[in-house]
Amino acid sequence: MHDERRRIEERVERLHNQRIKPALYAATVPLDIAAWQAPGEPVPFAEAAAAPYEPFVTGTPWGPPWGTTWFRMHGRVPENWAGRRVEAVIDLGFVGDWPGNQAEALVHLPDGTPLKAVNPLNQYVPIAHPAGGGERVDYLVEAASNPDILANDFAGPTPLGDVLTAGDAPLYTFRRADLAVLDEDVFHLDLDLHVLRELMAELGEHEPRRHEIMHALDHAMDLLDLDDIAGSAPAVRAALAPVLARPAHASAHIVSGVGHAHIDSAWLWPIRETKRKTSRTFSNVTALADEYEEFVFACSQAQQYEWVRDAYPKVWARIQEAVERGQWAPVGGMWVEADGNLPGGEALARQLIHGKRFFIEHFGIETKGVWLPDSFGYTAAYPQLAKLAGNEWFLTQKISWNQTNAFPHHTFWWEGIDGTRIFTHFPPVDTYNACFSGEEMARAVRNYREKGGATRSLAPFGWGDGGGGPTRELMERARRLRDLEGSPKVEVEHPDAFFAKARAEYEDAPVWVGELYLELHRATYTSQARTKQGNRRSEHLLREAELWATTAALHAPGYAYPHEQLDRLWKTVLLYQFHDILPGSSIAWVHREAEAEYARVAQELETLTAEAMAALGGGGARVFNTSPFDRAEVVRTADGTPVYVRVPAHGSAALTGTGTPPCPVEVSQRVLDNGLVRVEVAADGTLASVRDLRAGREVLADRGNLLRLHTDLPNYWDAWDIDKHYRNRYTDLLEPDSVTVVERDPLIGAIRVERSFGKGSRITQTITVRAGSPRIDFETEIDWHEAEKILKAGFPVDIRAPHSSAEIQFGHIQRPTHTNTSWEAARFEVSGHRWVHIAEPGYGVAVINDSTYGHDVTRTVRADGGTTTTVRLSLVRAPRVPDPGADQGRHRFTYSLLPGASIEDAVAEGYALNLPLRSADSAGAPRPVVSTEGDGVTVEAVKLADDGSGDVIVRIYESRGGRSGGLLRTGFPLAEAHLTDLLERPLGPTDTHGNTVPVTLRPFEIQTLRLTVDGT
């Protein structure tokens, strides 16, 4: 047989695209249109309905950046359309085919009922099926003119990312608003051709099935009447029916499809626009559920449900109905799809607590899995936290984006730092926005790494990132792919059903131990430093407010624990941990609002804490310690005088001074010496020497606190990525403006180094040593005006460390310092929380911070045979896309060097730096709510139970990485104690002895204790 593939394929392509697609609508009539431009921010429906409208014609430009234009549309279905499927078709002037970052609209009925949204891939609104003829159509359409931030493929910065800089020139030209008759035979023929053409293209040239499809298509096109596409469509479909009816092979891979509409809670649009996106997408999804009874839609992020509940009650009611029918699946059990690395341990717990509770309270459903397809790597603390929240499975997709190494599994057991395992899957289709294309289905089979052990994978389908969701076209594709030779079988089902089947057939799946590190987007540990600092500070302020509010509730008669206020503040902080806000990868508008919101949260929490302390009564000025460790530190009185105080964990002490340090601080020229460490500052402002006087050894192998300014232009994704070549070009900041002793006191010595550099940037660092502590603080102020640069602070330490240890949620993770394999080499920038620790047997050093996450650790062998291990903190970046002003301006933060540190020291000082001792006037001296005995038993949270019972909730964990045993002692009469899950539901009673609770913890184990106060 002659090879006619090219002729046939080109013939089918032309007829499909140029004749069949244009024939989808058999007849059209235009709608009458009037328009009103809403001033400023979006307005409620009632205000828009009462506004004055002006006549509007298609072809007219409309929509300033971030504007809202309301269109009033009306018309009448022609009498001769009776019995046919009639739709309104609206084209706002869409650009490209991505629904998420351009013009979008929500169509309302005259009474304000949201009906359906329109976007590039979903332009229709159903009128009637069949239409009665003569039916009147009246719509009020809320259209958002969101700018296309992705234009030019992120090639350069744009001012469109903030309403303050975007201008007011119209962005779109209105193209169409018609009533139209959908020709259902042509509609289905279009889908038949899509599925068969794409399947054919993926089959091998020597496979008979490919040629069978090709010739069937050729024959079917012979039946197409070019003068009567609609009339001949049934015959064409009939000719294709046999090849569409051929069943899949018995061994065909099974794809479990679940509807999905990934809606970033903020990214290239502000939060206020996400609130509207949810209403649009959820309206479309509930409409689709009415049309396709087998449809199942998975939706995470309780925050988005709450937005719809509060602002769009009619859409909320439709969601509830779809959940009741089993067509809508709440998943994920988190408040938002948070970043997978940066939120603190307690914050990740609260993400799960608030998310799970929302779905239980509003739908009576307890979600079974963590749904995080798009976060930029995943902490090794997740398996334990997920299990403690009652989850059975974990889903991600992002690891498929790895820049260097292909992840070896798609279905596996993920083991966390404590040994907890959770059944995990990431879809081999390599997207969470699947569209059931032939290429995607072939990719899923080709990629799937579990062949021979398992047979199925998951495919979340629907347009996403900015919403959109599944469409009827995708559902029709799924129907055709249900059982089709040459393709995997597609089953639309609930994610829980997929995971149950996957686990049943693959219980002995392989195990992956430790973090799921994404070999991409490593700059998200550093970009938008003020946003990250706001998160870190908010987490610790929440801890303080809860602890002291609990103390006051137990010891101050009449004090009312602020349940509702704390709940609201927690949810605000959780929202801003979304995986495009906290990582620093959003537009300027988002980060401007985040910084303002963090300031508001801080002010409110400071007030709550002050009120709780004031409620404790008289007793004079005192110092309060929120840390879980006893402290002996230098603090200042109201007039600035330094005093040395000892304060118990979770307790207080008189501010007058309660102890004497071992020896005073001596300051001479550029030397600080407190008898524990001796710090010599060089003339260039770096550390010439740090001598640990206790160990009798020099800490540094080279100049310390070396500030290095690197050129930082990644290949793509500016705010997200830092590529390895950044290391090749840099400037060391070695020419200070001044090096000056600024404090000379027996309790505090400080030297200030000031520098000017780059494009008008300045950095001021105060190097401080305090009596009684080996910790060296670097209080840093930066006025930053660089572009496409990253600033790092390096500490080359004379230690041969085989690995570094970095704090993560409820523990720490070890990473090799060598680069033996491509996996280690790919970790050239990593994340950590409050500290990084390096050690050789008998000696260690920690680098501690109050708001920094990104860092790198490298090692070299010197000419003398010794090894230098260098820890470098990533302080601030200057990407220009998507926020051209990212990180510009002032920053204030502190990092510290802790010589002679064990892991226990690093943990304690990490808490100390992030939870400064707090002074308050006229405060009493109640006993600490709880205290602990036993190495490694660390208290992470103290609060009252969320159910209002008055029970005290204490969350503890083992912080060293070893087995621990000890006691938890209460400062109140204890009636009974229970171990609970994260949602504070009892798992069983635990022993008590008076006011003590014995505790036993395995390495990094988390326990939540519910303590009932004895009120007798």
Model pLDDT for residues 782-795, shown as the tens digit of each residue: 999 999 999 999 99
**876 within 8 A of 887, measured Cβ to Cβ:** yes
CA–CA dist 131, 427 (Å, integer): 42
**844 within 8 A of 900, measured Cβ to Cβ:** yes
Model pLDDT for residues 583-593, shown as the tens digit of each residue: 999 999 999 99
The residue with greater pLDDT, 923 or 73, is: 73
Q: How distant is the alpha carbon of residue 60 from its chain centre?
A: 39
User: Locate tokens 């502590």: which residue?
Assistant: 773
What is residue 656's predicted lDDT score, i.e. its pLDDT? 81
Closest by Cα among 968, 969, 970 to 999: 968
Closest by Cα among 489, 604, 445, 590 to 537: 604
Q: Length of the chain in residues, anyone?
A: 1016
What average pLDDT does range 225-234 have in this prediction? 97
pLDDT over threshold 70, residue 335: yes
CA–CA dist 105, 479 (Å, integer): 29
Query: Which of the 8 DSSP states describes residue 18?
Result: I
User: Locate tokens 């959940």: which residue?
Assistant: 323
pLDDT mean across residues, the chain:
96
Closest by Cα among 824, 936, 956, 864 to 388: 956
CA–CA dist 56, 62 (Å, integer): 10
Distant-in-sequence, close-in-space partners of 152: CB < 8 Å, separation ≥ 6:
none
Distant-in-sequence, close-in-space partners of 641: CB < 8 Å, separation ≥ 6:
none
DSSP for 148-195, written as a single string: -TTGGGG-S--GGGSTTTS-----EE--EEEEEEE-HHHHHHHHHHHH
Model pLDDT for residues 76-133, shown as the tens digit of each residue: 999 999 989 999 999 999 998 888 889 999 999 999 999 999 999 999 999 977 777 7
Q: How distant is the alpha carbon of residue 127 from its chain centre?
A: 39
Model pLDDT for residues 399-437, shown as the tens digit of each residue: 999 999 999 999 999 999 999 999 999 999 999 999 999
Closest by Cα among 987, 925, 977, 927 to 954: 977
Query: Which of the 8 DSSP states describes residue 234?
Result: H
Query: Which of the 8 DSSP states describes residue 16?
Result: I
90 bridge partner residues: 177
**Residue from 178, 264, 339, 374 carrying the catalytic annotation:** 374
What average pLDDT does range 187-197 have in this prediction? 98
Q: Which ranges of 399-471 would DSSP assign to H, the alpha helix?
A: 438-447
Give the global pTM: 0.97
pLDDT over threshold 80, residue 924: no
User: Locate tokens 């689709």: which residue?
Assistant: 288
What average pLDDT does range 466-481 have in this prediction? 97
**670 within 8 A of 685, measured Cβ to Cβ:** no
What average pLDDT does range 926-946 have in this prediction? 96
**95 within 8 A of 43, measured Cβ to Cβ:** no
Q: Which ranges of 716-786 would DSSP assign to H, the alpha helix?
A: none
User: Locate tokens 């997207």: which residue?
Assistant: 431
What is residue 1015's predicted lDDT score, i.e. its pLDDT? 83
CA–CA dist 148, 750 (Å, integer): 50
Model pLDDT for residues 336-378, shown as the tens digit of each residue: 999 999 999 999 999 999 999 999 999 999 999 999 999 999 9
CA–CA dist 805, 807 (Å, integer): 7
What average pLDDT does range 727-733 have in this prediction? 98
- 374 is known as an active-site residue: yes
CA dihedral 358, 360, 363, 365 (to 10 degrees): 130
CA dihedral 967, 972, 978, 983 (to 10 degrees): -110
What is residue 4's predicted lDDT score, i.e. its pLDDT? 86
CA–CA dist 914, 940 (Å, integer): 13
What is residue 658's predicted lDDT score, i.e. its pLDDT? 62
pLDDT band of residue 923 (cuts 50, 70, 90) is: low
What is residue 911's predicted lDDT score, i.e. its pLDDT? 98
**262 within 8 A of 214, measured Cβ to Cβ:** no
Closest by Cα among 689, 697, 589 to 266: 589
Closest by Cα among 613, 542, 602, 644 to 920: 613
Closest by Cα among 300, 371, 358 to 329: 300
What is residue 1's predicted lDDT score, i.e. its pLDDT? 64
For residue 105, count other CB atoms closer than 10 A to its CB. 25
What angle is formed at CA 295 by the lines to CA 294 and CA 301, rounded to 5 degrees? 145
Rg (CA), the chain: 31
What is residue 621's predicted lDDT score, i.e. its pLDDT? 86
Q: Is 206 left (phi over 0), alpha (psi -120 to 50) or beta?
A: alpha
CA–CA dist 140, 98 (Å, integer): 24
Peptide bond preceding 583: is omega within 30 degrees of 0, i.e. cis?
Answer: no
